[in-house]
């Protein structure tokens, strides 16, 4: 399983699951701040007992500054492919705004491309935090992911 949270900031693009989503703010981070991809990477690494995203892509390494997180996911896909086969990925993004429902299919398609998975093997869900906590107040977006990997 993987989890991540990033702050929303002015002057950044909002990228979720490798898809740019129109919004007034974007996610802060050393990379593009793609919280969904970071959660998926941690889920995949966890399934393979390969540590976490920070060990593979340190956030003080200039090499990863502003990198598209799909690039990181692609590298992790290569690592996982040496160890086994991804059977299924399920994720939930929690965001107060913008409405993610219109973008879910684009996100599933993008993740399927990067992970070389058919779309029956990748599920993305979105919900709000009902106005509660920093996510509910629109200060951050968080994501949860579960990966099933046949080793
Ligand atoms: Mg992150």
Which CATH number do you get for residue 138? 3.30.1330.50
Residues 105-112, mean pLDDT to the nearest whole number? 98
Q: Supply the pLDDT for residue 80.
A: 97
Q: What is the mean pLDDT of residues 106-120?
A: 96
Q: How much distance in Å is there from the Cα of 145 to the middle of ligand 1?
A: 13
| Distance (Å) from CA 102 to ligand 1 centroid | 23
Residue partners of 133: CB distance under 8 A and separation at least 6: none
Look up the domain containing 41 and give its range: 2-150
C-alpha 86 – ligand 1 centre gap (Å): 21
pLDDT above 90: residue 122: yes
State the pLDDT at residue 35: 98
Q: Compute the distance from residue 33 Cα to the ligand 1 centre, in Å.
A: 6
**DSSP-derived secondary structure for 27-87:** E-SSSS--HHHHHHHHHHHHHTT---HHHHS-TT-GGGTT--HHHHHHHHHHHHHHH-EEE
pLDDT band at 89 (very low <50, low <70, confident <90, very high): very high
Residue 91 alpha carbon to ligand 1 centre in Å: 15
Mean pLDDT of the chain: 97
Interval between CA 6 and ligand 1 midpoint (Å):
6
What is the pLDDT at residue 119?
A: 87
In the numeric block, which tokens belong to residue 59?
């956030």
**pLDDT exceeds cutoff 90 at 113:** yes
DSSP 3-state of 17: coil
Question: In the structure, what pLDDT confidence band is assigned to residue 59 with cuts at 50, 70 and 90?
Answer: confident
Alpha-carbon dihedral sign for residues 141, 138, 32, 113: positive
Rounded distance from Cα 3 to ligand 1 centre (Å): 9
Q: How many domains does the chain have?
A: 1
What's the pTM value of the predicted model, to 2 decimals? 0.98
Confidence (pLDDT) at 3: 98
Helix axes 35-47, 104-115, angle to 10 degrees: 40
CA distance 150 to 129: 33
140-150 and 85-94 beta bridge pairing? antiparallel
The Å distance, Cα 50 to ligand 1 centre, comes to: 17
Question: How much is the pLDDT for 33?
Answer: 97
């Amino acid at each position: 399983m993987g989890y991540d949270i990033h702050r929303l900031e002015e002057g950044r693009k909002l990228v979720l699951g490798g898809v740019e989503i129109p919004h007034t703010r974007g996610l802060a981070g050393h990379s593009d701040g793609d919280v969904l991809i970071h959660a998926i990477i941690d889920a995949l690494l966890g399934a393979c007992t390969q540590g976490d995203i920070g060990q593979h892509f340190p956030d003080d390494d200039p090499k990863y500054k502003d990198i598209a997180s799909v690039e990181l996911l692609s590298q992790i896909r290569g690592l996982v492919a040496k160890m086994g086969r991804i059977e299924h990925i399920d994720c939930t993004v929690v965001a107060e705004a913008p409405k993610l429902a219109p973008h879910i299919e684009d996100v599933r398609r993008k993740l399927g491309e990067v992970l070389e998975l058919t779309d029956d093997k990748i599920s993305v869900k979105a919900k709000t935090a009902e106005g509660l906590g920093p996510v509910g107040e629109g200060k951050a977006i968080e994501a949860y992911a579960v990966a099933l990997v046949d080793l």
